[in-house]
Chains A and B, each alone.
Chain A
Amino acid sequence: MGMTLVEKILAKATGQAAVKAGDVLEPKVDLAMSHENAALVINQFSEIYKDTGIPLKVWDPSKIAIIFDHRVPAESAKTATNQKKIRDFVGKQGVTKFHDIRGDEGGICHQVLPENGYVIPGSVIVGTDSHTTSHGALGTFAFGIGATEMASVWTLGTVLNVEVPGTIKVNVKGKFPAGVYPKDLILYLIGKLTAEGANFKVLEFHGETIKNMSTSGRLTLSNMSVEAGATSGLVPPDEETLRYLKEEASVDFKGELLKPDAEAKYDQVIEVDVTALEPQIAKPHTVDNVKPISEVKNVKLNQIVIGSCTNGRLDDLEAAAKILEGKKVSKDVRMLVFPASWRIYKEALKRGYIADLMDAGAVIMNSNCGCCLGVHQGALADGDVSLSTTNRNFKGRQGNPNSEVYLCSAAVAAASAITGIITDPRGVN
């Protein structure tokens, strides 16, 4: 019987010839990622060892990654103290994949992991962050877990009681029209699937459109798969994956590229043609409240955000810079740009994107999650409307329950920055 990609990966991670959806397994973990919430993981990890007389020791310090990104630099004494506690733990345990608050490396965890070569096709990756799904873009099984679950992984090196998920196959064909991007595709898909349509399942992306898509675009698809409830979003690794690994992550991958079997069994198959796809907007307050931009009229904006693990990469900054070059951000809006990593920031500087964005009136922020999760760097006033390339528009998400968040691509964000209302980028330039 054929296997899907997630079945192949989990068979390998448990040393079995074959597994099938519904099997309950305890796969070995290849990479265990946390950010500031490692403070809670450390607490729970210590609880596990309490009164056992066994010295506190993680199973494999080379397989743990900790990246500060959620509140960088610390927005409060409490966060700073948590970060200090984590730094001490990292030192004591010898955790090697640690990215502190620095300008020469680091950034948002879901960007830092792939660009540093930590994401290897065919591996099992867990992270104490729901957008850990991102790394499925490189053909891994990557999923979010809670802090206590991570403490268990740090202890045992395995993740307990994983039920092999069923798979929804998404076949994508056609060429994106100018002004339409992978973000529009994933928003469209989430609208179709609904916020719970893929609960307890994974998405597996196929088709010519995916084949021709850069890893950056694939990361956007996999990243937001969780917004349809998916445990992960996987792209079968291919030539582009190998190119990315070699050119952008300095990894010379020599292993076998696991692929799903032709006769694999899927729970559902979805066909999408992007040829006539419009830019898509997720309206407040759920990510599946998606409409084509032609149906979203006269929405006045107060803040525009480009960034996050979803759309803060070089191609996003490029799309925005091209639209804003020589133009001005409307006096009615504040525009914030968060490059997803310092590497991206520096490359965008070199290419002149940062200057174009600044000259237009955008504020360039440091690489971190920023206002996406509503803690700092861009709180909204009562009644404010934000248009954002981030991944969530839940009530209160950007720090104020009396505000609204709309989600879009970087091109829509940039075009809308000029006018101060939600604007179709296809009519600009």
Chain B
Amino acid sequence: MSQEKSKVVALMLNDISTDIIYPGRFMATVLPTETPQYCFADMTELNKRLKNKEIPPNSVIVAGANFGCGSSREQAVSTIKGYEIVIVAKGFARIFLQNSVNLGLNTVVCPTIEASEGDELEILQDKIVNLTSGKTFPVEPLPKARQVIVDAGGLIAYTRKRLLEKVGKK
């Protein structure tokens, strides 16, 4: 998804686990409408800024490699999706990336990204332009198989379409 200028609101290191994104002690809360309150719960400052709506939609978190490693808990995606934050990372863990595609969280794989907090980024289909530093970084495209889910508007819509086809054929 291409979009206009986005501001970098936080930088994160490699191996940000699902326990950092959505701590296990909140796992009994499952509904996407309820999970955002615990987003990065143990990073209290960030959590507070999110809950106070100080971070506008389309703001960007820039992270290192293996973002979302660990659990398959989908709350780790729905909690960020609730604020429409974009995650630009050098790489993502497999299940987190697939969950993002399925739920429509904007995740961008950019292996060479360099940015500082406060930088303005322009995120395009094939590259990210850091408008503050003037540097450009290539973006890895989604595999085609995943793109069909994004194009359908997420996995619920995609599977619903398949279900209707399946029943219609009978």
Contacts and interface: CB of A to CB of B under 8 A. Distances in A.
Contacts of A296: none
Given A128-B72, A196-B91, A161 B149 contact: yes
B15 A43 contact: no
Contacts of B77: 146
A50 to B, nearest CB: 8
A399 interface: yes
Contact of B163 (A148, A155, A161): A155
A40 B31 contact: yes
Given A82-B28, A146-B72, A24 B144 contact: yes
A67 B15 CA distance: 29
A161 B24 contact: no
A148 B143 CA distance: 19
B109 to A, nearest CB: 11
Interface in A22-57: 24, 36-37, 39-40, 43-44, 47-50, 52, 54
B12 interface: no
Interface residues of A, number: 55
B94 to A, nearest CB: 6
Interface in B130-170: 143-146, 148-149, 154-156, 158-160, 162-164, 166-167
Contacts of B103: 146, 148
Interface of A is mostly: loop
A358 interface: no
Interface residues of B, number: 49
Contact of A196 (B29, B72, B75, B93): B93
A397 interface: yes
Given A52-B163, A82-B30, A146-B99, A392 B70 contact: yes
Contacts of A373: 24, 27, 71
Contacts of B102: 146, 148-149
A40 B30 contact: yes
B87 to A, nearest CB: 16
A70 B158 CA distance: 30
A231 interface: yes
Contacts of A231: 94
A147 interface: yes
Interface string A139-163: 0000011111101100110001101
Contacts of A200: 94
Contacts of A172: none
Interface of B is mostly: helix
Contacts of A163: 143, 145
Contacts of B73: 37, 146
Contacts, number: 157
B28 A196 contact: no
A145 B98 contact: yes
B72 A394 contact: no
B159 A151 contact: yes
A399 B154 CA distance: 32
Interface in B86-113: 91, 93-95, 98-99, 102-103
Contacts of B23: 374, 396, 401
B70 to A, nearest CB: 6
A401 B91 contact: no
B30 A48 contact: no
Contact of B69 (A44, A145, A195): A195
Contacts of A146: 72-74, 77, 95, 98-99, 102-103
A160 B166 CA distance: 15
A229 interface: yes
A196 B158 CA distance: 30
Nearest to B76: A146
A192 B83 CA distance: 37
B156 A44 contact: yes
Give 3 nearest A-B pairs by CB, closest first: A161-B145, A146-B99, A196-B66
